[in-house]
Chains A and B, each alone.
Chain A
Amino acid sequence: MLHHGVGTLAFLAELSQALAVSLDLETTLAETVDRVLGFMQAEAASLFLIETDGSRSVLQCHICAGPIDVRGLRLALGQGVVGRAVAENAIQLVTDAAHDPRVWRAADETHAFDTRSLVCAPLATAAGPIGALEIINRRDGRPFTAADAELLGVIAAPAALAINNARMARDLVQQQRLKREFDLARRLQRSLLPRRRRDGFPIVAVNRPAHEVSGDFYDYFDLPDGRIGFVVGDVSGKGMDAALLMVRAASLLRWLGMESPAPADWLARANRELCLTAQDGRFVCALVGCCDADATRVRFAGAGFPPVLVWRDGTFTEYAAGGPPLGIAADMTFAEMDIALDQGTLYAYSDGATDVRAADGRPIGTAGIRELIARHAAAAPEARLRALLAELRHMRLVDDTTLLTIEAAHGGQPERVLERRIRAAPEELRGLRVALRGALDGLGVEPELRDRLVLAIDEACANIIRHGYGPDGDGHIELRLTREGNLLSFELCDQAPCADPQRLRPRPLGECRSGGFGLALIDAVMDDWQLEPAPGGCGNRLTLRKRIACIDDEDSDGS
């Protein structure tokens, strides 16, 4: 029990209030220590807080009042009475300092101060003590009592709370500032990546950071002789410093490549330059090379980069040429390779792609990447890379991941996004909707429009099943989704008896009649549609088109 009466309560109330409304914690705490000094009739008082110094935690005197200034004094946890109060999270009462083994005497000797009696209370929080409040020597010369010790414990509680709150507020502000900085760095990094090119350009690439910022990058650019240079890079480490090195490595490799695109020489020069400025054991893995505009031959060299894969006629060939990562030793030479693509596709990927974890937690490795590539080989390059990335993200991405493909463009052909053949039966529609939804997601179509497009195609198929084939009909429906720029074309082919387009009239929407508004829904969703006899004379071909606002490839798959 406390025996200090009304004066104590008034003091505590006043102190708690001052701490609760404190905006400037430093000032308030200094005031608190002064007030405690006066109220407890002590000669000296001090407040220690746990500071983390590298990996070690120490107690540092933050504020003190009394004849000597011990601010900055550092104690190990457990050292002296203060250290013990924190280590044991218990109030320490020393009535006879001269003969108490808990007292660390060196402090007195340094400061020519005679400690006779002291009390130290931990500043306790739910997560453990964060420091301690200490009072030394009663002014009346008598030792501190158990009641004094208890009182100091009560005073320590609101002080601990106030310090803790102030720290949390400060951490929150810092986190928000860091997040803004990361966002800025991320946008800056994105702006360094080249824009997607659609003019029959043979190279497509995607990049997905595992964290806020990326250590991976890719680049491609036209060379003066009409060929195309490309780079895929992977900077060791993660976080902001890796991101900054990435920015430097990306610009260095671009300029060296534009100047002299012979891959081996290109890497050797980049290596020398990076060795001059590399620090902290950081290095850069990269693949550089060039190809002709119609992607018949590719010349490349790697620096600590995974081998490239070429998929030709249903089989993989792996090619590796190059040397060690850049930025480690200056006098390195690199081997290069010149291969014919023969209508195949070259895949370059950073090791983030093979580090992706499968369901069992193991990296999927080269075999995993090969399997994914083979599975999506039929899709057009952009759709394929998006699908690969989506599959990789569906598993667990542990590192930044970059994929780049080189293949001959198919002369301005629309990109095939999805091809699906179903039996013309109502129970087949659900599967078709799932496939279509996935394909539209892969294109980055926003969900509301995606659902409308799925509805419209579902209605069209339902009409083919109900009215085209009829109840006794038996046949199939083929859906082909293609994309040319921002124009999506959905083609539905059937072998049902030829329909008369003149008889297909949508009912007005909003009319309260059951049935007949499938066509109206299609009208409402699609820009236009057209029904014609299928080529070959049997069946119908329904083509539905929708121009979508903008598929932004870089941002469509979110983060």
Chain B
Amino acid sequence: MTNHANTVETEQCAGHVLVRLGGEVDLSWSQDVRRAVLAALQGGLPVGVDLAAVDYIDSSGIAALVEGLQGARSRGVAFALIAVSAQVRAVLELARLDRVFTLAATTDEAFAGP
């Protein structure tokens, strides 16, 4: 299994905000993830959370993403999970949340369209 460092980075892109996560999202720092995701919603732009470098995620990490989705819905902005790693996808499927989230390969794919 690949080992990415635990990271959360927020990037202001053209027309959306991208939160890039890496490493093993668990109880030890999922609150940081939660704060970053909620902060990204503040600007009112669509938010993508890039999960390509996430090797592990537990229910507290998933909860942060759920909270992000709910926050986005209440603001009426788009919220998508980008480049979801196989490990994260397996947990989303186990939690039956894989169809609740918008999953996309790229932000272009997620936020394109009308």
Q: Which positions in A face B, CB cutoff 8 Å? A: 425-427, 429-430, 433, 437, 448, 451-452, 454-455, 458-459, 462, 465-466, 509-510, 512-515, 517-518, 520-521, 524-525
CB distance from B48 to the nearest CB of A (A): 18
**Binary CB contact string for chain B from 36 to 76 against chain A (1 if under 8 A, 0 otherwise):** 00000000000000000000101110111011011000000
Contacting pair A514 B67 (CB below 8 A): yes
Q: Which residues of B contact A452 (CB under 8 A)?
A: 90, 94
Q: Which residues of B contact A512 (CB under 8 A)?
A: 66, 69-70, 97, 100
Q: Does B2 contact A (CB under 8 A)?
A: no
**Alpha-carbon distance between A451 and B57 when the two chains are bound, in angstroms:** 11
Q: Which residues of A contact B60 (CB under 8 A)?
A: 462, 515, 518
**Alpha-carbon distance between A425 and B27 when the two chains are bound, in angstroms:** 9
User: Which residue, of A462, A514, A515, A518, has the highest number of chain B Cβ atoms within 10 A?
Assistant: A514
Classify chain B: how many residues form its interface, as a range.
20 to 34
Q: Which residues of B contact A454 (CB under 8 A)?
A: 56
Contacting pair B100 A524 (CB below 8 A): no
**Which A residue sits closest to B67, measured CB to CB?**
A514
**Alpha-carbon distance between A510 and B90 when the two chains are bound, in angstroms:** 14
CB distance from B63 to the nearest CB of A (A): 4
**Alpha-carbon distance between A448 and B1 when the two chains are bound, in angstroms:** 12
Q: Which residues of A contact B91 (CB under 8 A)?
A: 455, 521
Contacting pair B24 A510 (CB below 8 A): no
Contacting pair B59 A448 (CB below 8 A): no
**Alpha-carbon distance between A425 and B26 when the two chains are bound, in angstroms:** 11
Contacting pair B58 A510 (CB below 8 A): no
Q: Which positions in B face A, CB cutoff 8 Å? A: 1, 24, 26-29, 56, 58-60, 62-64, 66-67, 69-70, 87, 90-91, 94-97, 100
A-B contact pairs, 7 of them (CB 8 A): A430-B28, A455-B56, A455-B58, A455-B91, A509-B95, A512-B66, A518-B58
Contacting pair A433 B100 (CB below 8 A): no
**Alpha-carbon distance between A69 and B96 when the two chains are bound, in angstroms:** 79
**Alpha-carbon distance between A418 and B96 when the two chains are bound, in angstroms:** 31
CB distance from B103 to the nearest CB of A (A): 15
Partner of A429, one of B1, B27, B59: B27
Partner of B59, one of A430, A510, A517: A517
Q: Which residues of A contact B26 (CB under 8 A)?
A: 426, 429-430, 433, 458, 462
**Alpha-carbon distance between A524 and B94 when the two chains are bound, in angstroms:** 7
Q: Which residues of A contact B56 (CB under 8 A)?
A: 433, 454-455
Partner of B94, one of A437, A455, A515: A455
Q: Which residues of B contact A427 (CB under 8 A)?
A: 28
Partner of A515, one of B28, B63, B69, B90: B63
Q: Which residues of A contact B90 (CB under 8 A)?
A: 448, 451-452
> Known: A452-B90, A465-B27. Contact between A514 and B66, CB under 8 A?
yes
Q: Which residues of B contact A462 (CB under 8 A)?
A: 26-27, 58-60
Q: Which residues of B contact A510 (CB under 8 A)?
A: 95-97, 100
Contacting pair B66 A429 (CB below 8 A): no
Q: Which residues of B contact A429 (CB under 8 A)?
A: 26-28
**Alpha-carbon distance between A437 and B67 when the two chains are bound, in angstroms:** 29
CB distance from B27 to the nearest CB of A (A): 4
Q: Which residues of B contact A433 (CB under 8 A)?
A: 24, 26, 56
Listed from nearest, the 5 A-B pairs whose CB atoms lie closest are: A510-B96, A426-B28, A426-B27, A514-B63, A518-B59
**Which A residue sits closest to B96, measured CB to CB?**
A510
CB distance from A518 to the nearest CB of B (A): 4
Q: Which residues of B contact A524 (CB under 8 A)?
A: 94-95
Contacting pair A525 B94 (CB below 8 A): yes
